[in-house]
Chain A
Amino acid sequence: MITYLLRRILLGLVTLVVITLMVYGLARSMPGNPLTVQLGESDPSRKLNPEDQQRMLEIYGLDKPWPVGYVQWISKVIQGDLGRSITRKQPVTQLIGERIGPTVLISGTALFLTWFLAIPLGLYASARGGRIDERFTGLVLYALYSFPTFVAALFLQIIFAVWLRDTHWELPLFGMSDLSSDAPFFARCRDVAWHAILPITCQTYVVLAYNSRFIKANLEEVVRQDFIRTARAKGAGPWRVLVHHAFRNTLIPLVTLLGLSLPALVGGSVIIEQIFTWPGMGRLFFESIRERDYPTIMGLTLMFSVLTLAGQLLADLLYSIVDPRVNVE
């Protein structure tokens, strides 16, 4: 077990180096740099003269070829230093620290909701398989699954922020809070929750639709197996057969899906947070790429990659719990 974990962690570190190397190379190869992008966009007359620009690039270590820059970056990371954001003049760790809460609020809630709702939905769909109500929900889920998030987000914004404006049902268009930081704590929580409804909905529905369809498909596969017939021949009722015997067996493929759902949420959060101007890590990622803010890009890349790898490791460990035939040794 220990050797297995060590091997996995070692492999994970190698993967991290490969990922960050590729991302760093790509980021540095994008046209422009933090200075030109930032200044050139806002006001052409304030362009730095070439000498100043060169000096500043030297300060940030951007005058050398990117492999050198990468080595400098990673040797600092090993010492626990993610560097300072070029455009925001803040340590990257502090920047991420500020954004992590809002992202967990949206993505964490969405992750919880997708699983909390997908399991009963999947069980329901396979218990009622083929009946009219199941066909209808199946169709709705299929439609949801095929519906792009950004389109859904726009529709939801139009409906709840525009059409339903000045009604009970109005929901904020974007942002995380309209209240100043000295407003009462409870009122602020309420306000943030209010703002979070639409982004959470958008972040949830696609994965929910996918997961419940996945669970249903797997259950249908399992209930055709011989051991289900054995369970029925023992005298187990339909509910017990479905939940105890069939569902317990679908946990095996579900663990894979769970491991994959972390990276999917990260990807989703970039789009959702951008659409709803939500001050989280996804939006920070998007902005740092636009600003060519290499230290921030790399800090977030590192963080997302660690999350993804941890999700996979967790999934592999869970396998040996849900499937007695799997032995991690």
Chain B
Amino acid sequence: MAAPLLEIKDLVTVFHTSDGRLPAVDGVSLSIERGQTLGLVGESGCGKSVTAMSTLRLVSSPGRIESGSIMFTTEGESIDLVTTPEKQLRQVRGGRIGMIFQEPMTSLNPVFTIGNQIAEAVQLHRKVSRSEARSRALEMLHLVRLADPEQRLDAYPHQLSGGMRQRVMIAIALACEPDLIIADEPTTALDVTIQAQILELLDDLRSRLGTAILLITHDLGVVAETCDDVAVMYAGRIVEQASAVELFSRPLHPYTIGLLQARPNVDARDSGPLETIPGMVPPPQDFPSGCRFHPRCSHAREPQCNVEPPSLREVSPGHFVRCHFAEEINS
């Protein structure tokens, strides 16, 4: 079998602060196949963004990738993004892997036109003239279905709405026809109707261009509609991983179940108040012993859960879960 497009293995990213060594990402493994969408889900603060940033080595100090590997395979050639020289990494950034961020309002440079910013992405990776880069930028604006692309090419970011800016971000990320797009909560800051449009656009572009997507979100609803596979993250670790179909029909980890129950259900309007998981994701300095979820888990049993860290087990083909009692809870 061919190597997956991106394979993250045992990634550990730590922040060295006055609180000591904080492992925000603590042994994460993920893999994405060509043209597929992987959803990475978890509440705010569980380490999703740090994972995304680590992939392109964009974590800034005091953050550092401590160990692990990130194999990226294109055209039969594999490189480890953790160790590859800076120069080669820059060709991957924006060239082979595009990135979209959560904040469309601040992610574009306020002093350059959007045409300029898309063209820059092209010129950084391809030997093209200014006018070629500009026409590529226009083409991209058409592709992301921005209204009035000809006029918008010379607009500044402040002249666009949040949704339009996110389309521009997508245009930048896709400008060099990358193999993978990492979208870190691309719709979180947007209105609900705009969210749906952006997700639809991403999904459409993926099927037309064959770009794989790592879609990071805290919203399982988003995942259900767009992803092939799902990884659920909690406190720096993957706690459950399966295909989207499998995960939604047979969730095993109490955290996943909690997330699913916390979802507003459109079909059953009178199902009463939403159940939310009590408490919050602990920051790395307060990671509990044993299973990191046990203080919030209604099924937690002593002495196992608070002492023995569960490992990620394959309970059925392709379905992994990090819980001592997954089968019991769900039987």
Contact = CB atoms under 8 A, between A and B. Distances in A.
B267 to A, nearest CB: 37
Contacts of B194: none
Contact of A233 (B56, B111, B158): B56
A230 B186 CA distance: 13
Given A229-B58, A230-B172, A235 B90 contact: yes
A235 B109 contact: no
A36 interface: no
Contacts of A245: 109
Interface string A217-245: 00000000111011111111100000001
B278 to A, nearest CB: 32
Contacts of A27: none
B90 A324 contact: no
B303 to A, nearest CB: 44
B103 interface: yes
A230 B111 contact: no
B94 A234 contact: yes
Contacts of A324: 110-111, 156, 158
Contacts of A231: 109
A231 B56 CA distance: 12
A237 B156 CA distance: 23
Nearest to B95: A235
B125 A227 contact: no
B83 to A, nearest CB: 18
A325 interface: yes
Contacts of B98: 233
A226 B169 CA distance: 12
Interface in B165-199: 169, 172
Nearest to B105: A226
Nearest to A322: B111
Nearest to B61: A130
B94 A323 contact: no
B121 A225 contact: no
A218 to B, nearest CB: 14
Interface in A134-172: none
Given A226-B106, A245-B109, A249-B111, A236 B99 contact: no
Given A236-B90, A325-B158, 6 more contacts: A227-B110, A230-B107, A230-B172, A235-B92, A235-B94, A235-B125
Nearest to A246: B109
B108 interface: yes
A325 B101 contact: no
A233 B58 contact: yes
Contacts of A323: 110-111
A314 B115 CA distance: 29
Contacts of A251: 111
A3 B28 CA distance: 62
Contacts of B329: none
